Amino acid sequence: MGFEALVVDKDAEGKTHAAVRRLEVDDLPAGEVTVAVHYSTVNYKDGLCIGPGAGLVRKYPHVPGVDFAGIVEDSSDPRYAPGDAVVLTGWRVGEAHWGGYAQKARVRADWLVPLPEGLTLRQAMAIGTAGFTAMLAVIALEEHGLAPGHGPVLVTGAAGGVGSVAVAVLARLGHEVAAVTGRPETEGYLRGLGASRIVPREEIAEAIARPMESETWAGCIDAVGGTVLARVTKQLKYRCSVAAVGNAGGLDVPLSVIPLLLRGVNILGIDSVLQPFENRIRAWGRLTRDLDLDMLEGMVRSATLADLPGLGRDILKGRVQGRVVVDVAGT
């Protein structure tokens, strides 16, 4: 039986084109578990894979979508049976392996987790890789000493997917949250998530020559990288940490080693792609407890497969606020 999918192909001139097409089950790649996909979402990587590929896509034609949530249809692995509700994030699905922008997906059983108790399939994708990454960052900061009352926690790229969930979770945990944004029109949205302070992006994006600045932040979740990450390290309090989750502002970090040596500052790299099963279960469990699901709904906009080419372009230009849930089954 055929199904709908967003398929990206590359022409003879090397240009990529994305369109919704009809595929057959036999077109799916190898894997132990076949899933009827209900929902997916839109991440920065998805924008790259829908568009230029950026070296992430190995072979065309390709089905992007780094996340999905759905119901198992067939499984040769005893851990999953038809009817089980499952979630997938990471594992280079949607990049090197066909992903969730299709009504059916076939993947390795090792890549799946059971739908967390207390979440619907739609809520799981409202969280998605972005929320999962945000929670991993919060856990890493806590493991390096962050606790409520230590001072303000900075979140860069705060109106994006990772940033929105990070602001909401940190505020719910009792932290004072400072949200960095380059879009003044998002101030009301960010304050609604729990940010107590809005920091214009230009205040922290400019490179400065001084090796250190005044101790300001008790921690930071940084989705920007580049000059912003370098600047944050100069403003962290003694023995405090920044969790680096993204590179929307650039790959190169003009970093001074002085804050690391004289203040014991830590830069914590957060990988959400290859996390082991136990860490995934822990992070999803924390999300069901520490994220207000009613507030989560306020971050969400709905989309269809047909909307994805435009959304892919928008997210690369920083025009997507909060979370996008793609109703794959209803397309």
Tell me how many domains the chain contains. Answer: 2
Q: Residue 13 — pLDDT band, cuts 50, 70, 90?
A: confident
Cα–chain-centroid distance for residue 109? 22
- Write the CATH number for 91: 3.90.180.10
For residue 29, give the amino acid letter: P
Same domain (yes/no): 152, 204: yes
Tens digits of residue pLDDT in 274-327: 999 999 999 999 999 999 999 999 999 999 999 999 999 999 988 999 999 999
The pLDDT tens digits for 62-121 are: 999 999 999 999 999 999 999 999 999 999 999 999 999 999 999 999 999 999 999 999
Same domain, 65 and 157: no
Residue 125 lies in a domain: no
Q: Quick check: is 123 in a domain? A: no
List C-alpha distances in Å: 77 to 72, 74, 109, 111. Answer: 11, 9, 7, 12
Q: Are residues 105 and 134 in the same domain?
A: no
Position 54 confidence tier, pLDDT thresholds 50, 70, 90: confident
User: End of a domain among 269, 285, 302?
Assistant: 269
Query: 96 with 216, same domain?
Result: no
Q: Pseudo-torsion of CA 226, 137, 177, 289, nearest 10°?
A: 160
pLDDT attached to residue 52: 84
Residues 187-233 pLDDT 10s: 999 999 999 999 999 999 988 889 999 999 999 999 999 999 999 99
Same domain, 168 and 234: yes
- Domain limits for position 214: 130-269
Q: What is the pLDDT of residue 330?
A: 86
Read off the pLDDT band of 132 (50, 70, 90).
very high
Query: Has residue 331 got a pLDDT over 80?
Result: no
Phi and psi, residue 262, nearest 5°:
-90, -25
In order of 61, 67, 68, 121, 327, the CA distances from 126 in angstroms are 27, 10, 10, 9, 11
